[in-house]
Amino acid sequence: STNHKDIGSLYLWFSFIMFLTGAAMAMVIRAELFQPGLQLVEPNFFNQMTTVHGLIMVFGAVMPAFTGLANWLIPMMIGAPDMALPRMNNWSFCILPFAFTMLLSSLFMEGGGPNFGWTFYAPLSTTYSPDSTALFVFAIHIMGISSMMGAINVIVTIVNLRAPGMTWMKLPLFVWTWLITAFLLIAVMPVLAGAVTMVLTDKFFGTSFFDTAGGGDPVMFQHIFWFFGHPEV
């Protein structure tokens, strides 16, 4: 479908499924921490749950839920017939299930899934990470592409498709907040893409962006990551 309400509902259902998936991982984490010395799962599996739980809750549950609400409400609030770019809207949703399938399938790889925390600080995500880091990076790239396309769609819709008489100062607050959010997403998603690409090349292609031995700086990772992280939140 290219109907904004259908796509909004798909986003909300996807978000709900991801929320349940992330919640299941949270249950593993809390069960392991229930009592000192209790050993229910392998320490490495615990770390994988912590990483993937965080990524799924942020990128799979919270963000698609808000994007789904935006898809539903923005056209109705500004008097537009649909989003400005309905086929791109469809595409930005349809690539998400593939991204999260890739992320979850990394848990079944040899060496296990990503086990370095959802903030994937170097050198944990570069020197000490399993090979499934590649899948994790590609999944993040696809989520970022989806977010950016959704944000572009929101901006174009709000700027171009307001009903006659719907001036900027008459826009509902929800529409204003989404306009600002969309600009922030377009600003920060490429930063995240750059950070995870540097993680990828550090791990698999011998670069030293975050490796002091090669002239890099692990603290640079934190700066880049939080340049993405805070506006994104």
11 lies in which domain range? 4-230
- In which band, very low, low, confident or very high, does the pLDDT at 232 lie, cut at 50, 70 and 90? confident
Q: Is the pLDDT of residue 218 over 90?
A: yes
Quote the CA–CA distance of 52 and 54 in Å, as a whole number. Answer: 5
- In which band, very low, low, confident or very high, does the pLDDT at 233 lie, cut at 50, 70 and 90? confident
pLDDT of residue 5: 97
φ/ψ region of 114 (left if φ > 0, alpha if ψ in -120 to 50, else beta) reads beta
Average pLDDT, the chain: 95
Domain count, the chain: 1
Average pLDDT on 46-75 reads 96
Quote the CA–CA distance of 133 and 139 in Å, as a whole number. Answer: 10
CATH code at 219? 1.20.210.10
Q: Please write the tens of the pLDDT for every residue from 75-114.
A: 999 999 999 999 999 999 999 999 999 999 999 999 899 9
